[in-house]
Amino acid sequence: MSAPSTTVPDRNPSPAKIRSGRMLSLDVLRGLDIGFMILVNNNGDGSRAYWALKHADWNGFTPTDLVFPTFLFLVGISTVFSTESRLAQGASKQSIFLHTLRRAVILFLLGLLVNSFPHFNLHTLRYYGVLPRIAICYFVVATLYLISPKWRGKAVLAVTALVAYWILMRFVPVPGYGLPGHDVPFLDRDGNLAAWIDRQVFSASHLYEGTRDPEGLLSTIPALATALFGMLAGIWLRTGRSLAEKARGIAIAGVTGVLLGGVWNFWFPLNKKLWTSSFVLFAAGLSLLLLALSMWIVDIRGSEASGEDRARRSRRFMPLLVFGTNAITAYVFSELLSGAIDNIHLGSGANVQQWFYHSILSIVPDPAFASLLYSLCFVAVCWLPVYLLYRRRIFIKI
């Protein structure tokens, strides 16, 4: 990680000057996404949480399933902006590539840290995960953009990845199971090609679900398409069109993605754990719609306000900007904190997480609501240290 900024703190920093040269709506949406990610990852009782705060058990879709693909989508957008910014400052493509490689390696290593904390047991270390997937997708799409910033090749590659993944999952026989849809149910939990490959690469102790991993090797192919769709959105946002035209185009693309994903769902069901091609289109469509909404609320309406009203409106987004401007830091801190409190046991034998949740449950007898209150408290605890960084204008870059 690069050293934190040493700029003199501004006690009332204006979001508009926090990250000059960036679209404020992107940081706001990223902050919303990270906040929700921390919320759903830390339920008081995952089995009793509201359905919207849990992943779909297998096929299907819940709001929680949108969290990771939206972040990966935003990675694609940010890659375009950051690369163009560095090129404009005179950086060579070679130096940008080396910087990209360094960032990807650090992200991957942070993923291993998060996955292994606090025991660091190599026999059970999970090599897959959220940060490793981000690292791989970021490195690939950033390198592709350096090779060529044109959008057509990215679009063709994204579509090819989705179609290729569908062909592999639908028509390639799975050893020991047979042909999907004929000898074994299509997208069987263990009898699918993605799960089989994961079991060949790693033993059960290294896989998140024992016989499979939701961030496994083969499903990285469609995940790359998610990042590429974000990159296409970033290319569109850098055109000379007005903000209103850009937001309108983003919204139209979003509706198209939702419809295409919904239709493909009949033949290739929405499934976040397998990152199916229909899921990619459906989730990308929703991410685009969220981005269009964020642009309208934050950028377009904000630009129409007077100077004082604009500053006042911008300050309203501060709680989200705290997470959005230090997203990876917030996520890593939340995961390490979760691992710590899960492994600190009290005299009763319960760990801190269980003790706190049951303390809430003793006051609020509704398990789902008590679980939500625990999650909100956890998010607040994670927000505070990141807020201190925000107040001091410290943005930890990888």
Query: How many Å separate Cα 299 from the centre of its chain?
Result: 22
- Does any domain span residue 1? no
pLDDT recorded at residue 315:
80
Distances (CA, A) of 152 to 20, 148, 282, 285: 29, 10, 21, 19
The structure's pTM equals: 0.91
Checking if the pLDDT of 73 tops 60, the result is yes
What is the Cα 389 distance to its own chain's centre?
21
Residues 113-156: pLDDT tens digits?
999 999 999 999 999 999 999 999 999 999 999 999 999 999 99
Residue-wise pLDDT tens digits, 328-358: 999 999 999 999 999 999 877 889 999 999 9
Q: What is the pLDDT of residues 178-206, one digit of tens each?
A: 999 999 999 999 999 999 999 999 999 99
User: What's the rounded Cα separation, in Å, for the pair 86 and 80?
Assistant: 10
* Residue reference for tokens 């130096």: 95
Q: How many domains does one find in the chain?
A: 1
Within-domain flag for 5: no
Q: Are 206 and 112 in contact (CB under 8 A)?
A: no
Q: Which two tokens stand for residue 124?
A: 């059970």
For residue 55, being part of any structural domain is answered with yes
Query: pLDDT class for 165, splitting at 50, 70, 90?
Result: very high
Contact at 8 Å (CB) between 231 and 79?
yes
Residues 6+ apart with CB under 8 A from 150: none
Task: From residue 226, give the alpha-carbon distance in Å to each of 156, 159, 219, 276.
Answer: 13, 10, 11, 11
Residue 37, domain member (yes or no): yes
The residue type of 272 is K
Q: State the amino acid at position 248 in one-letter form.
A: R
Those residues whose C-beta lies under 8 Å from the C-beta of residue 358, and which sit 6 or more positions away, are 350
Instruction: Tell me what the mean pLDDT of segment 72-93 comes to.
Output: 96
> What pLDDT, on a 0 to 100 scale, did the predictor assign at position 134?
97
Q: How far apart are CA 196 and CA 190, in angstroms?
A: 7
The Cβ of residue 88 has, within 10 Å, a number of other Cβ atoms equal to 9
Q: Report if residue 329 sits inside a domain.
A: yes
Q: How many CA atoms lie within 13 A of 281 on its CB side?
A: 24
Of the candidates 31, 30, 42, 34, the residue with the CA atom closest to the CA atom of residue 377: 42
**Average pLDDT of 37-58?**
93
Q: Which two tokens stand for residue 56?
A: 């779909």
Q: What's the chain's average pLDDT?
A: 91
Cα torsion angle, 383, 385, 389, 392, sign: positive
The phi and psi torsions of 210 (rounded to 5 degrees) equal 80, -60
> Would you say residue 397 lies in a domain?
no
- Check pLDDT > 60 for residue 305: no
Domain of 225 in residue numbering reads as: 15-391
Residue 3 placed within a domain = no
For residue 397, is pLDDT > 90?
no
Sequence letter at residue 35: G
Q: Please report the pLDDT score of residue 306 as a whole number.
A: 54
Is 7 among the domain residues?
Answer: no
